[in-house]
């Protein structure tokens, strides 16, 4: 059985060039390829504002992939914007938040990547650091100057977790983010951290299956010993979730 995986799209606003102001709905091809390689059927869900349309598309899928992208607006976790907050689109946040809410109501498995981890945490009541520089204890470098498939830093895995089941030992991950989890949402547990204690992965403790990571495994799927496996794991969990 090949589950249908809805892939939440992002919105790209062209700021200069020949067509300033033009908006594009897009998804990086790496997400699509990773789902297909892992036995799923990807279905792109475009940036939408009408709730009834979002609902109809969510009902067509078995699981939901929440992709990376721009910063999450602090208005959705009750903070004022701080100086190092990046570009935001509150309407895009509203789209992703409602899609997550409706998917949860209808028992869909979910997998969040980078921004996907952040918006998933916010959707269930958690908060974010608007920039890593606001972490008082200090952090390692989390935005690598190298190819997207390159390895940036190690993560430590929690025992009795999805990642431990997939990888067994700690792994090296890529890293392209400047926001991170501050307060973890209720109903989740931390299953991986970087050496500076920045949360790198979370998993739901009960109910519909939810997994989220701070790095970009879709850019590292050629490394079959590691990052390819996380998509296969999510596909298996999605199938199991359908049967429950």
Q: Which residues are catalytic?
A: 114, 216, 218
Distance CA 52, CA 56 (A): 6
Segment (H or E) for 35:
helix 29-37
Provide the b/e sequence for 43-80 (b: ≥16 CB within 10 Å): bbbbbbeeeeebbebbeebbbbbbbbbbbbbbebbeee
Strands (E), 137-206: 153-157, 171-173, 180-181, 188-194, 199-204
């Amino acid at each position: 059985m090949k589950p249908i995986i809805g892939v939440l799209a992002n919105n790209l606003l062209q700021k200069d060039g020949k067509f300033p102001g033009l908006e594009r709905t897009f998804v990086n091809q790496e997400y699509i390829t990773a789902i297909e390689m892992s036995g799923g059927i990807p279905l792109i869900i475009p940036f939408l504002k009408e709730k009834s349309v979002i609902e109809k598309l969510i009902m067509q899928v078995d699981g939901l992939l929440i992709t990376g992208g721009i910063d999450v607006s602090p208005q959705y976790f009750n903070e004022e914007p701080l100086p190092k907050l990046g570009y935001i689109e509150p309407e895009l946040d509203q789209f992703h938040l409602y899609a997550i809410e409706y998917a949860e109501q209808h028992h869909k498995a979910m997998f969040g990547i980078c921004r996907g981890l952040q918006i998933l945490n916010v959707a269930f009541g958690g908060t974010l650091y608007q920039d890593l520089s606001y972490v008082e204890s200090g952090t390692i470098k989390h935005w690598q100057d190298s190819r997207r498939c390159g390895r940036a830093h190690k993560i430590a895995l929690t025992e009795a977790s999805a990642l431990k089941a997939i990888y067994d030992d700690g792994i090296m991950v890529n890293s392209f983010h400047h926001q991170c989890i501050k307060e973890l949402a209720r109903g989740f547990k931390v299953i991986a951290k970087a050496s500076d204690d920045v949360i790198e992965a979370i998993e739901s403790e009960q109910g519909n299956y939810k997994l989220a990571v701070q790095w970009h495994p879709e850019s590292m799927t050629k490394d079959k010993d590691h990052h390819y496996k996380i998509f296969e794991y999510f596909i298996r969990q999605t199938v199991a979730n359908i049967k429950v």
